[in-house]
Amino acid sequence: MRRKPGNGGMTGGGRPWRYAIPALTIFAGTLFAASGSTAHGTDLRGGGRTKVTELIAQEQRQYQGSQASYRHLRRQVEGLVRAVAQRDARVKAAQEDADRLAARTGFAALTGHGVRVTLDDAPTGRRIPGDPGPDDLVVHQQDVQAVVNALWTGGATGVQIMDQRLISTSAVRCVGNTLILQGVVYSPPFRITAIGDPGRLRAALDASPAIQVYRQYVAEYGLGYTVTTLKKTTLPAYTGNVQPKYATALEPDGANSHP
């Protein structure tokens, strides 16, 4: 969680350090001993370690390949379902229900007015007062999530982060100052777009306690935060894979079937 800016220093003179320094010395010695025991005398910085960024890039390439295959198979399945629906009334009814729910669940494009929120890291290369740490100067996962939560609270009918539509199973993850969403890595600035009543959406953003804390960092350290009203925008349909974990099928007599 973010701490509020301006409350990070210890007050009351140097008296606490009289007790802290011996404790820190003992703790450091324990860490050195544990490190040597774990490494068994080997170099913990060996060249065989793979950088996290390389792993992320590799996973993203694999994800993009699997997504292309998935979209191809999905188009084939949809074509078969619609072909069967022409001669089977039950399949046709189920398909019509799915089409009606598609917009509400993120599986159909959505057009309307709304807002776009842009979050950005603090600019580099300049002196910032207040002695902030590196974590104080970047957008975090909870900042993006706070904006998304506020937009849903404000009555958004659809939300998109960068170029991807969100659905109920979407999860935002951060590694360093990059954002990982549904297998794709993004760098700041992060753009969150929502369709809904702009007045209600803005009011929900202003009322969010988490965003109020973030805006203190905006004022103190120069992080980016802008809200733009959109007269008309279109959110794309979600095209990724969906893997329900708790869905159950119904037997012909209506009883639940548990695999």
Q: Over 210-252, what HEC string results?
A: HHHHHHHHHHHHCCEEEEEEEEEEEECCCCCCCCCCCCCEECC
Residue-wise pLDDT for 220-256, tens only, equals 999 999 999 999 999 999 987 776 666 666 665 544 4
Give how many domains the chain has, as a whole number.
2
Residue 150: inside a domain: yes
Q: Is there a single domain that holds both residue 126 and residue 97?
A: no
**CA–CA dist 170, 154 (Å, integer):** 19
Nearest alpha carbon to residue 164 among 182, 188, 150: 182
Whether residue 82 is found in the same domain as residue 189 = no
**Residue 101 and residue 117 in one domain:** no
Q: Which residues of the chain have pLDDT under 70?
A: 1-4, 6-53, 56-57, 59-60, 63-68, 70-71, 74, 243-259
- The three-class DSSP label of residue 193 is strand
Give the neighbor-by-neighbor strand order of the sheet with 190-195: 164-165, 158-161, 190-195, 110-120, 224-235
Q: Tell whether 115 and 211 lie within a shared domain.
A: yes
Specify the pLDDT at position 223: 95
Considering the domain architecture, whether residues 125 and 223 belong to the same structural domain is answered as yes
Task: Decide if 241 is inside a domain.
Answer: no
CATH number at residue 224: 3.30.70.1880
Residue 187 placed within a domain: yes
Residue range(s) defining the domain that contains residue 65: 51-105
Are 84 and 176 within one domain?
Answer: no
* Residue 125 in domain: yes
Per-residue confidence (pLDDT) for residue 101, from 0 to 100: 78
So what's the pLDDT on residue 81? 73
Cβ contact 203:181 at 8 Å = no
The confidence score (pLDDT) of residue 257 equals: 42
Global confidence as pTM: 0.67
